[in-house]
Amino acid sequence: MNHQVYKSHKNALPGPNNISRVVLSNGITILTRSNFNSPTLSIKGYLPNGSIFDPEEILGLSYLTAHGLMNGTQRYDFQHLYDKIESVGARLGFSAGTLTTSFSAHCLSEDLTLMMGLIADSLRTPTFPEREFQRQKTQLLTSLAIRAQDTSAMASLLFDQTIYANHPYRHPDEGHPETVQAITREDIVDFYQRTYGPQGMVVVAVGAVEPETVIETVSEVLGDWSNDKQTALPNIPDAPALQTTTRKSLSIPGKSQADIVMGFAAPNRQSPDYFPLRIGNNILGEFGMMGRLGQRVREEAGLAYYAYSSYSAGLGPGSIEMIAGVNPTNIEQTIQLITEELTQFIAQPVTPEELSDSKSYFLGRMPLLLESNSGVAVALLNMERFELGLDYFHQYPQNIQAISAEQILSASQRTMDPDRLAIAIAGP
Amino acid sequence: MKNEDTLFYTLDNGLTVHLKEIHNAPIISTWVWYRVGSRNETLGKTGISHWVEHMQFNGTKKFPKKVLDRQISRVGGIWNAMTYLDWTTYFETLPAHVFEISLALEADRMANSRFDPDEVDRERKVILSEREGNENQPHFLLGEAVQETAFQNHPYKNQVIGSTNDLLSITRDDLCGHYKQYYHPGNAILAIAGDFKADQMQKNIEETFGKIPDGRQVASAIPADPPLNGERRVEVEGPGETTYVQISYRAPKANDPDFFILTILDSLLSGPTSLNMFGSGGTSNKTSRLYRALVEDEIAVSCFGALQATLDPYLYTLHLTVHPLHSPEEVLQAVDTELNRVLDAPITRDEIARAIKQAKALFAYSSENISNQAFWLGYSEIFANYDWFENYVTHLAKVTPEDVMDIARKYLTPKNRVVGFYLPQKDQTKA
């Protein structure tokens, strides 16, 4: 259906016929797609490193390294570098996740060469000046102090520590105040030398440029990059389910609202359970006004402004999280309502009407997700990272339509056991 | 762009219609703007506009609550609503081949919302919960105190979400009265951008919105507050270990020529403002004067500025997070030093040219997304007209260094501001 809708438009569905993919000899993959509807360009990409490499006593190391790349390069100091970017109204930033260091740039298409040059400079010749390093460390410590006061962020942190107990994912990418305090500039330089390099790097550019121009430009600035010491990502172990329901609470005095995160570790992006769980989660806590959870907790009980669920799935174990922000006196009632909904969800298949609605939602959402250059760039990155294939969007309608209520039920039963729930609460 | 055409007209019942054809993607974004927000609220009834907005999702006879939600979500659409100082807006961004539902729905709830008593009471609890979530944020607590101090009588002094006391006492009759007063074609703007033909769209609009009877015109003038005539200070204590500073200057309204000059000055001081409400866009502010003076010199850990396009004169605000080794007074002093520098050493034409170049790029990003284009098509009409947005860069390009100095003198002086400090509570075990 959606493919038909797209056929009459200039902005065709991304697919093998309009995506160019090239792998350079040093291991960098380039994906690019032209869109001349507006004179803008989105450049995104990642390197396969991240907080997975952080030693426990200096968590936050990969975060500070990624954010330090633009503190100065051999060619430009901090102000000079940002002057280049901001003078043309562009944006560039690096950020660290658990398994990736990502970058994202937005600019006018005429500034492709400038921006790729700055990305390459930041990646290849960062100088990590001491003064800027200390300033960035203070900024991170302040944001950790702010995080400590954020009921939503702290409940999420507690939740990760519960579902990923004894798993590398239990650590936050930004670290903790004491681990960040212990990081030195030498740690950063060492981390950079060990984990940054072209192997496994991906660059995506979408916008008003020809594919050949993108490939030439990236090859020019990154094609001869090498690092013999670059460490490959380790294999990520599974996260075993909890043996029993585990509840953790954190008191943050003076707050008005408590945040609750309940849920489970969940299958990764490449699991056969991915689509059943994606649709199942939509029905449970996303569709319309936050699905069944929103209906029960907000629309019927009036207990919360938000009560929803989300399913995150990457290369390692993902998570299903059911989230609500409530008055502290309503915590127990909310947990009970969510647990009841969950129990019901794994006892009975979703109704034909719910399934049809949800599938229709996913198919209808495609043109909206792919409207902007950055939306298409994210889609291309995911295609590469999770090996989805360049024809992913052409296959997508069939993949969605093929899912049955029984598949959703069995995938949900495998993943969500109300007797093995993780419950994390942060509030006054 | 060649493939974009706009058509502006008014229906017989008074509804203002703005249409813009954009054929880049199979999407249509529909917005209905009502000229009502916290600006139109009286004491004792603060938060009522936002509450009416919530009630608009609780159904009509034709579109009962769950039907409404389901119809939009089934086609993968995005829909939401926002209430602010001068306006309340509702939007649906949908695949083009199913867009008709948005017209049917918006036309129906312009006149036929039910305000079921049980839903009113349930929504009261939801909004109180929303407010409690806001109260968890130091920025909300500080902003509320500063805003209240910045105005004497003008309703801009109140929070859009309303006070807890008012939320506890507003009745169903109050809500219905507010709805009847402000929700009718004469007080609304319909803005649609996307993949349609304007002539066909006109027919669709006539068939849906054309049938709604006009309501009473709503008087809109609100007396201006007297000038502050002296710096006000406000302190808020709360949990946490981080100190925040908010400095709010009384600012010109959006259709005052001073507004574009202050936009340039803000760009130099705290970085350019993104015009993109949806998706990517914007730039960092690390070369701005305040960032260099405060963050690079480690007196603050972050700073940003906010100038908002409003119907009446509102506020230009600087938000700063204080460095752990410094005090809020030192931050304020450093800001003043930078503001004085604007007056002591006039800014150059090159600096202005750079700000305009930045604005051009940000304007280009804003055209990447159809929802964002439809947003401006309606929003700009609330406080000025579409020319304000369409020729945004041209307006900025007229600004001279002398203009900027005059504006700095006129607005960014201590006697025209409220300074707010959020200070960590001393004994937090009792918080």
Sorted by where each starts, the structural domains of chain B and their CATH numbers stand as 5-211 (3.30.830.10), 232-430 (3.30.830.10)
Share of chain B above pLDDT 90, in %: 85
The pairing of strands A40-47 and A101-108 is antiparallel
Best A67, A91, A290 residue to mutate vs chain B (most B CBs within 10 Å): A91
For residue B80, the 8-state DSSP code is E
> Nearest residue on chain A to B286, judged by CA atoms?
A82
Domain boundaries along the sequence of chain A:
11-222, 246-427
What are the C-alpha distances in Å from B112 to residues B12, B15, B305? 20, 17, 41
- Minimum distance, in Å, between the CA of residue A300 and any CA atom of chain B: 8
Q: Looking at the complex, report in whole angstroms how far the Cα of residue A259 sits from the nearest Cα belonging to chain B.
A: 9
**Selection from B225, B189, B138, B174 nearest residue B51 by Cα:** B174
d(CA B282, CA B326): 30
User: What residues contact residue A53 under an 8 Å CB cut-off, 6+ apart?
Assistant: A61, A62, A191, A194, A195, A231
Note the pLDDT of residue A11: 55
Contact between chains at A371 and B98 (C-beta distance less than 8 A): no
Kindly give the pairing relationship between strand B16-21 and strand B188-194.
parallel
Does pTM top 0.90 for this prediction? yes
The C-alpha of B74 sits at a distance from chain A's nearest C-alpha, in angstroms, of 5
State the alpha helices, DSSP H only, in A164-301.
177-181, 185-195, 211-222, 274-285, 287-293
Q: Where are the alpha helices (DSSP H) in A204-330?
A: 211-222, 274-285, 287-293
| Nearest by Cα to B395 from B254, B261, B253 | B261
Structure tokens at A18: 């309009």
- What are the per-10-residue average pLDDT scores of chain A (428 residues)? 50 88 98 93 97 97 98 98 96 96 97 98 98 97 97 98 94 98 98 98 97 98 98 94 97 96 97 97 95 94 95 96 97 98 98 97 91 94 97 94 98 97 97
CB A256 within 8 A of CB A373: no
Chain A, residues 290-309, CB within 8 A of chain B, namely 298-300, 302-306
- For the cut 60, the answer to whether the pLDDT of residue B53 exceeds it is yes
Say how far apart CA A208 and CA A39 lie, in whole Å: 6
Quote the CA–CA distance of B109 and B57 in Å, as a whole number.
Answer: 9
pLDDT at A76: 98
The more confidently predicted of residues B295 and B69 is B295
Task: Please indicate whether the domains covering A11-222 and A246-427 agree at the CATH topology level.
Answer: yes
Residue that has been written with the tokens 């490959």 in this structure: A232
DSSP string across A23-51: E-TTS-EEEEEE--SSSEEEEEEEES-SG
Minimal-distance CA residue of chain B relative to A38: B368
B331-340 pLDDT, tens digit per residue, is 999 999 999 9
Question: Which of B26, B281, B360 has its CB closest to that of A9?
Answer: B26
pLDDT given at position A6:
53
Cα(B255)–Cα(B275) distance, rounded to whole angstroms?
17
- Those residues with Cβ within 8 angstroms of residue A60's Cβ, 6 or more apart along the chain or in another chain: A51, A54, A140, A173, A174, A175, A176, A179, A180, A183
Residues of A in contact with B425 (CB under 8 A): 254
User: CATH number of the domain at A11-222, please?
Assistant: 3.30.830.10
Interchain contact, B73 vs A257, CB within 8 Å: no
B2 in A contact zone (CB under 8 Å): no
* Per-residue pLDDT at B319: 97
How far away is chain B from the Cα of A5, in angstroms, using its nearest Cα? Answer: 7
CATH superfamily for domain A246-427:
Metalloenzyme, LuxS/M16 peptidase-like (3.30.830.10)
Q: Which residue has the tokens 């947005």?
A: B389
Which of A6, A10, A82 is opposite residue B286, by nearest beta carbon? A82
Q: Tell me the pLDDT of chain B averaged across its residues.
A: 93
pLDDT of residue B4: 54
Residue B189 has pLDDT above 90, yes or no: yes
Query: Please, what is the angle between helix A78-87 and helix B349-366, to 10°?
Result: 60
- The pLDDT tens digits for B296-311 are 999 999 999 999 999 9
**Long-range residue pairs from B64-72, CB within 8 A, at least 24 positions apart, any chain:** B65/A299, B65/B119, B66/A288, B68/B105, B69/A288, B69/A289, B70/A288, B70/A357, B71/B101, B71/B105, B72/A288, B72/B101, B72/B102, B72/B105
Cα B431 to Cα B425: distance, rounded to the nearest angstrom:
8
The stretch B270-278 carries a mean pLDDT of 80
- Higher-pLDDT residue of B25 and B377 is B377
pLDDT confidence of residue B278: 63
